[in-house]
Structure 1
Amino acid sequence: MPARFWGEAVRHAVYLLNRLPTKALGERTPFEAWMGRKPHLAHLKVFGCIAYAKNTTPHLKKLDDRSSPMVYLGVEEGCKAHRLFDPRHNKLQVSRDVIFQENSEWTWNAGADKEDLPEFVVVNAFNTDEVIVTADIEAAAEDVTPSSSLATPSSTRASSPSTPSSSTQATTSPESHEGPVRYRSIADIYANTEEIIGIDEEENESKELGFKKCNQEHAVYTRGKREASILVGVYVDDLIVTGRSTEGINKFKQQMMTEFEMSDLGLLSYYLGIEVEQQKSRILLRQSAYAKKILSQFQMADCNATKQPMEPKTPLHKDLEGTPIDATEYRRIIGCLRYLLHTRPDLSYSVGMASRYMEKPTSMHHKVVKQILRYLKGTIYFGLAYTKGPQEISIFGYSDSDLAGDLDGRKSTSGMTFYFNESLVSWNSQKQKTVALSSCEAEFMAATTAACHALWLRSLTSELTGEKPKPVTLFVDNKSAIALMKNPVFHGRSKHIDTRFHFIRECVENGQIVVEFINTGEQRADVLTKALPGVKLAVMRQLLGVRDLEPCQN
């Protein structure tokens, strides 16, 4: 065996010495002196012999191998399992289902050493997560850092790993360069959007370069006004630069490269798992690669597609008497799907409903999640398209709610969408915190929540463009709720409603929000409050702004 397995050999030798008699203890073993009973030795095998571990990959095909040849490295402490090394894939694995050939040994390459294998992977047979560690096999037993799941995909980098572009990049790997999802909101996108990486102290230098931090969104910096304005979005040490002046953008990049060691990645094409395709007349956002990765991760790559993510009127509840499933696996699927919502608002309601039962999921909830994955299979390339609008900026939104859709607490679900010049920029589907007594009350509370978000978008747009804030139009499909918003008098239908929900009355009275009626058939937020049948879903999806953006095959 190669010398790099010396640590494993010493570890196994210590395990054996603790189970061998010694004169110091009166011919007793250290194990017996400590535990008060004699050790069992039937599980011991010849160190370094060939062992065949059971292939635990689910959904094996008929011709797939049922086991894999490996090298026995001893007993795993703390469980009744064996430590095995897979020379073919350079992996260390722990498994219980093993068949040994103690008279055989692996044929190692004469020149094999640790320099030939820069790193290996530790695999737990009871949990399919893989753990990346350093090449020293003895260090693997001491310092193992679990890798994250697909819930938050890492951002890609074009810079060479041998030449780090910043101290952050030098001390962390691209795989660990991740962050949580805070909200689903997409700011205004202009042409000439470019990505630059390698900044560590952009906030300290921003004032010297003439940039001002946006008060409404602290990750955005602005410089200049109107045609000379430049916007910079910051995430850790990655920058997205956009503006109307190509000359201004180039000047900014030269200034930054003078101050920092950095890389210019050109036009933005991929950012935090979101694919960006910039065309002459529009910008496309999708997560098709991530969607394929989700389906492959959970063995649904070959599933049959379906036309809707959830069947209408699905009686989803806690199901206390149902068959429990693996809660960890269920949460991993939900986490992956929630990150996909950055470009897939049509999944917001179904994923949100499934997210309510992560504490104790059952087979009923798992069936709903699999339905969502099957819908994703048929809509992999769906995403959002942003076209250049008119010079005059307009912001409008839609607010909707169901009534007592939650079967456990009888609470309603609010849905809202907001558009910047006909381009969808923000959306949300969320269970209300208070039980509504009528559809009027549910719509009233949903509209109040939408109004709060509308004021933030209004202030953000005004700060980025330098123009005076304009009223935001909010479309609601309930005439009773609209009358309640416009009537400042309290009466029997509203006196029991929490005071904070009457905030929208003040917004309407001050002219910040303009509430208008719209027919239910044109209510774009309808898809965020209930499960729709296939035909109606396709219509609402089109109104919402979700498009099939599959790349053309040349």
Structure 2
Amino acid sequence: MVAMRHWPLHQLDIKNAFLHGDLEEDIYMEQPPGFVAQGEYGLVCKLRRSLYGLKQSPRAWFGKFSHIVQLFGLKRSEADHSVFYCQSSPGKCVYLIVYVDDIVITGNDATKIVQLKEHLFSHFQTKDLGYLKYFLGIEVAQSGDGVVISQRKYALDILEETGMQNCRPVDSPMDPNLKLMADQSDIYPDPERYRRLVGKLIYLTITRPDIFFAVGVVSQFMQSPHVDHWNAVMRILRYIKRAPGQGLLYEDKGNMQVSGYCDADWAGCPIDRKSTSGYCVFIGGNLISWKSKKQTVVARSSAEAEYRSMALVTCELMWIKQLLQELKFCEVARMKLFCDNQAALHIASNPVFHERTKHIEIDCHFIREKLLSKEITTEFINSNDQPADILTKSLRGTRIQFICSKLGAYDLYAPA
């Protein structure tokens, strides 16, 4: 097991990243207006370096960056191609994460990190931003007790842009009694504004699992939003105003147990009667992955809806296990899957198929295979203690606060 309590996070930024990427194959472009060679109309230019705006540029840049990083000795993760890692010595490791030209480096080998930075400096025009504080709109606060991530500035910018900075806060992002329909009110006059705002709220869910379900509901009406849909978005903003600095706390809780919680709201959508799946995954008691998604088929029973949700979180658990084992981050013991539906748990452990389950045979075989290999164990959890409940339906304020405390929600800016 690797303890990462004292690992610092370093941030780097590479300038003009695409211009440094050598092309992996011959690429041609039309001669730009004003630079056409005399008498050579209809010809094209062969590019020696990638240019901004071309669809090949990101691939060319990432290929160049990957080659340089691997020359240093880092390996690219097969589970996540944006992650590079190396085991410098027994118990010592370095991890690098890249998003376009923004880089985060962490690990417990300070010497190797310094050498990696110098290697990048020698190949790219790179700026060392020091300890990680702000990355892709996410604010990071580090201390010896843990790490807090939030999007306070991003949330305040949304409130200011919409004129909601002085609005009256509410204790829930969506009214539990509200069922949004496609054509239940007048058409909203500015659909582009609606789409931009909902898109920004989707990005805010990176650190706010408590608004994931509500944002998912309003995002279903992007094509033709109505006034009621806009009012639902405004309620989400009023909920955000209640605690714009709320984020997630990550701390060392003394274990590295991987556990997943899944839930489903059977036939919850009033339009097509499809169910909503929700799951959240914890490592060592810290929330690292969550999702709320409408199912693609209509479930014929609540057990079937819950079972499809179990299959969804099982896929996520297997990917997380692959990533952790590849990075040698920790020894992954048997993962736990918690569900609050007894019928779904019995289907998972019972190898007999009958007419009520034969149409979900693939999901049954997938989950059952993981249970038989003892990679995952299933356990029952009471609905009152189910943290994934917040990802499948609208809840009351007190219930939201209870689940947020279980998810590790933390407001660094709350008054003491």
TM (normalized to structure 1)?
0.63
Q: 1:501: how far off? A: 5.2
User: Which residue is equivalent to 1:47?
Assistant: none
User: Which residue is equivalent to 2:132?
Assistant: 268
Moved more, 248-257 or 316-325: 316-325
Note if contact 1:416-1:450 (Cα within 8 Å) is conserved in structure 2: yes
Moved more, 244-253 or 482-491: 244-253
Task: Return closer, same or farther for 1:271/1:222 CA change in 2, 3 Å cut-off.
Answer: same
User: Which residue is equivalent to 2:162?
Assistant: 298
Q: Which structure has the bigger radius of gyration?
A: 1
Give RMSD over aligned pairs: 1.8
User: Which residue is equivalent to 1:196?
Assistant: 12
Q: 1:498: how far off? A: 5.3
Task: Return closer, same or farther for 1:474/1:190 CA change in 2, 3 Å cut-off.
Answer: farther
Q: 1:470: how far off? A: 2.9
Task: Describe the superposition over 1:211-257 as per-residue Cα deviations: whole angstroms up to 9, x where unpaired.
Answer: 10000000000111653210000111221110012222122222322
Distance in 2 (CA, whole Å) between partners of 1:242 and 1:190 is 10
Distance in 1 (CA, whole Å) between partners of 2:329 and 2:213 is 35
Aligned partner letter, 1:197 = D
User: Which residue is equivalent to 1:348?
Assistant: 212
The structure 1 residue matched to 2:248, chosen from 373, 384, 387, is 384
Q: Gaps spanning 5+ residues in structure 1: where? A: 1-187
Residues 273-352 of structure 1 aligned to structure 2 (within 5 Å): 273-319=137-183, 322-352=186-216
Aligned partner letter, 1:382 = Q
Task: Return closer, same or farther for 1:324/1:255 CA change in 2, 3 Å cut-off.
Answer: closer
Distance in 2 (CA, whole Å) between partners of 1:464 and 1:231 is 8
Q: 1:502: how far off? A: 3.7
Note if contact 1:462-1:469 (Cα within 8 Å) is conserved in structure 2: yes
Distance in 2 (CA, whole Å) between partners of 1:355 and 1:226 is 48
Note if contact 1:227-1:245 (Cα within 8 Å) is conserved in structure 2: no
Distance in 2 (CA, whole Å) between partners of 1:286 and 1:321 is 35
The structure 1 residue matched to 2:101, chosen from 212, 215, 237, is 237
Q: Gaps spanning 5+ residues in structure 2: where? A: 21-63
Aligned partner letter, 1:220 = V
Note if contact 1:324-1:361 (Cα within 8 Å) is conserved in structure 2: yes
Note if contact 1:475-1:515 (Cα within 8 Å) is conserved in structure 2: yes
Determine which structure has greater relative contact order: mean sequence separation of CA pairs < 8 Å that are 6+ residues apart, divided by chain length.
2
User: Which residue is equivalent to 1:478?
Assistant: 341
User: Which residue is equivalent to 2:56?
Assistant: none
Match of 2:91, SS? helix
Q: 1:551: how far off? A: 6.5
The structure 2 residue matched to 1:408, chosen from 248, 271, 290, is 271
Distance in 2 (CA, whole Å) between partners of 1:227 and 1:264 is 26
Q: 1:552: how far off? A: 6.8
The structure 2 residue matched to 1:536, chosen from 390, 395, 399, is 399
Task: Describe the superposition over 1:453-483 as per-residue Cα deviations: whole angstroms up to 9, x where unpaired.
Answer: 1100011011112655432211000011000
Task: Return closer, same or farther for 1:457/1:503 CA change in 2, 3 Å cut-off.
Answer: same
Distance in 1 (CA, whole Å) between partners of 2:95 and 2:207 is 22
Structure with a larger share of its residues in helix: 2
TM (normalized to structure 2)?
0.84
Aligned partner letter, 2:136 = L
Residues 449-488 of structure 1 aligned to structure 2 (within 5 Å): 449-465=312-328, 469-488=332-351
Distance in 1 (CA, whole Å) between partners of 2:293 and 2:109 is 39
Distance in 1 (CA, whole Å) between partners of 2:257 and 2:303 is 28
The answer to whether residue 71 in structure 2 is matched with residue 208 in structure 1 is: yes
The structure 1 residue matched to 2:290, chosen from 409, 424, 427, is 427
Task: Describe the superposition over 1:254-282 as per-residue Cα deviations: whole angstroms up to 9, x where unpaired.
Answer: 23223333221110000000001111211
Aligned partner letter, 1:373 = L
The structure 2 residue matched to 1:504, chosen from 364, 367, 388, is 367
Note if contact 1:396-1:473 (Cα within 8 Å) is conserved in structure 2: yes
Q: 1:361: how far off? A: 1.1
Note if contact 1:448-1:502 (Cα within 8 Å) is conserved in structure 2: no
Task: Return closer, same or farther for 1:189/1:447 CA change in 2, 3 Å cut-off.
Answer: farther
Note if contact 2:281-2:289 (Cα within 8 Å) is conserved in structure 1: yes
Note if contact 1:459-1:469 (Cα within 8 Å) is conserved in structure 2: no
Q: 1:543: how far off? A: 1.1
Moved more, 446-455 or 237-246: 237-246
Task: Return closer, same or farther for 1:350/1:226 CA change in 2, 3 Å cut-off.
Answer: farther
Task: Describe the superposition over 1:329-372 as per-residue Cα deviations: whole angstroms up to 9, x where unpaired.
Answer: 11111001000011000000000011111111111111111100
Note if contact 1:396-1:472 (Cα within 8 Å) is conserved in structure 2: yes
